[in-house]
Amino acid sequence: MQKAIKKYFPIFVLPTMIAFAIGFLAPFILGIYLSFCDFTTVTDAEFIGIGNYLKILGDAEFIHSLWYTALFTVVTVILINVLAFAVALLLTKGIRGTNVFRTVFFMPNLIGGIVLGYVWQLLLNGVLARFERTLTYSEWFGFWGLVILMLWQQVGYMMIIYISGIQNIPGELIEAAKIDGARPSQILRHVTIPMVMPSITICTFLTLTNGFKLFDQNLALTNGAPSRMSELLALNIYNTFYGRAGWEGVGQAKAVVFFIIVGVIALLQNRLTTSKEVQQ
């Protein structure tokens, strides 16, 4: 059987490979090529060299959205993971109605980003209206609005991952720690957290990349207002590409830069958290 699979695997992999090449590789390579071009529609590109990349450097809005996104990612990664882990701990203690709570916390994740964005826009504006403010009054209103939205959406999902991690901890480890006289906080610090390190790796990876790539929610909630100050990177790229005549190539170049940034950070993070994982 091993031999058969070895012999025929190219055939079995072929359909997926074709789909991957058409849906991912080809656009990716085309995208990199286009970042060196001047064009109106993607079919009439003309090669111009690195001019597009030079324009990025002088684009204050891009720089702003770069650190704005970085800050947003830092805040959401910390908050989502801390809250998700705390909820997961609570819901593995065997309290009444655990399954109901798990379901309820997970549900927001099933709603699409655009819908969530509009729903939260109505909700938050409804609250802020009491103070005669709106969500787009300043970039920080939008920032915290987005953070709240993201927490609501993602905590449940990360919670599920943490729950499965916690449930996989062998009972005897905890028991042994208890017999040795460890306090609950010590068990958490020295047993539970090291044992769920693989889950932490996955969750930080997911929240980190989600934070950087966030688009739908940003578009629906603030659309970058006011003055494009609450624009995250992905939305900035989109607006450069579609919003400015003659800047399509610059938008494309930003997308390439964006890919490199996210790629590097994700790899670094992966290496960092993986190194902390312990063998069972």
Partner 1 sequence: MKKKRVLAFVLAAAMAGGLVTGCGGSGNSDGGSSSGSGSTGKVYYLNFKPEQADQWVELAGQYTEETGVQVDVQTAASGTYESQLKSEMAKDEAPTLFQVNGPVGLATWKDYCYDLSDSAVYKDVSSDDYVLKDGDQVLGVAYVIETYGLIYNKALLNDYFDASWSTVKSIDDLNNFDALKTVAEEIQAHKDDLGVEGAFTSAGMDSSSDWRFKTHLANLPIYYEYKDRGITSTDAIEGTYLDNYKQIWDLYINNATCEPSMISSKTGDDASSEFALGEAVFYQNGTWAYNDIKDNEVADEDLGMLPIYIGAEGEEEQGLCTGSENYWCVNKNASEEDIQATLDFMQWVVESDAGRDMLANEMGFVTPFTTFSDYLPSNPLVLANEEYSEAGKTPVSWNFTTMPSENWKNNLGSALLEYAQGTGDWDGVVTAFVDGWATEYAAANE
Contacts with partner 1, residue ranges (CB under 8 A): 1, 4, 11-12, 14-16, 19, 40-44, 121, 125, 129, 132-138, 223-228, 242-246, 248
Query: Hey, what are 225's tokens?
Result: 């207002």
Sign of CA dihedral 220, 221, 224, 227: positive
Q: Closest separation between CB of residue 154 and partner 1, Å?
A: 25
Q: Closest separation between CB of residue 260 and partner 1, Å?
A: 25
Looking at the Cβ atoms of 51 and 97, the one nearer to partner 1 is 51
Three-state SS at 267: helix
Looking at the Cβ atoms of 104 and 140, the one nearer to partner 1 is 140
Q: Closest separation between CB of residue 262 and partner 1, Å?
A: 23
d(CA 220, CA 113) in angstroms, rounded, equals 8
Looking at the Cβ atoms of 38 and 156, the one nearer to partner 1 is 38
Token look-up 């002088």 returns 58
Which residue in 202, 230, 189 sits closest to 77, CA to CA? 202
Query: Hey, what are 129's tokens?
Result: 């209206």
Looking at the Cβ atoms of 138 and 270, the one nearer to partner 1 is 138
d(CA 4, CA 190) in angstroms, rounded, equals 46
Q: Closest separation between CB of residue 273 and partner 1, Å?
A: 34
Q: Closest separation between CB of residue 141 and partner 1, Å?
A: 10
Alpha carbons within 13 angstroms on the beta-carbon side of residue 202 total 14
Looking at the Cβ atoms of 103 and 242, the one nearer to partner 1 is 242
